[in-house]
Structure formats: C-alpha cells, structure tokens
Homo-oligomer: A and B are copies of this chain.
Amino acid sequence: MGEDERALLSADVPEWEVIERNGIPRLRRSYRFSGFGDALEFAYAVGRAADEQDHHPRIVLQWGKVTVDWHTHAIGGLHRNDYVMAAKCDDLYTAR
C-alpha cells in the first residue's frame, strides 16, 4: 500500500490512529460507553462482523470503553482491509 492510498483510506477513518505494538503498525480506536453492558454488546458486534469477514482484530473490553486494533497478520502491517474494517466499526458504533 503506497502513501497516497494510505492517506486516502485514513481520511475515511479520522478517529483511528496508527500505533506500533510488538514492532507491527496497527490501526487503533477507543470507543466510549456509559457502562459495561453497552460496551460488551458493541465488542460482540465487532467480533461477529470480523469473523464474517475472516479478518480478526484485537479487542480490549472494559467498563465504559472498547479499544479495537486492526492489522494484517500475513503482511505484518496494514492492508486496505484494515481500513475497511475500521470504517465498519465506526458504522456499528454510530448505529447503536
């Protein structure tokens, strides 16, 4: 993925940042909730959408907060799919 494509894809998911963890760049966003139950349901919805696409995030669930990381294992970094799934998460958050 070239810089131009990355810039274009990033513009669609402005709330996501690229972080590095264990030497691998990842897309990350934290979502806020008013309690645990609503955070749980969101995490579950993200997980189901991920499994349908066979593209699997790391999800950290805690009271009032869900953090989602995407990267593509096969390339050890970011692929277009990661941005697509990030946008899908934003849609699920908006649609709650």
Contact = CB atoms under 8 A, between A and B. Distances in A.
A38 B68 CA distance: 18
A62 B59 CA distance: 7
Contacts of A76: none
A51 B59 contact: no
Q: A interface, how many residues as a size bin?
A: 10 to 19
Interface string A40-63: 100110011011000011111111
Contacts of A47: 36, 40, 43-44, 61
Contacts of A37: 51
A56 B62 contact: yes
Contacts of A56: 36, 62-63
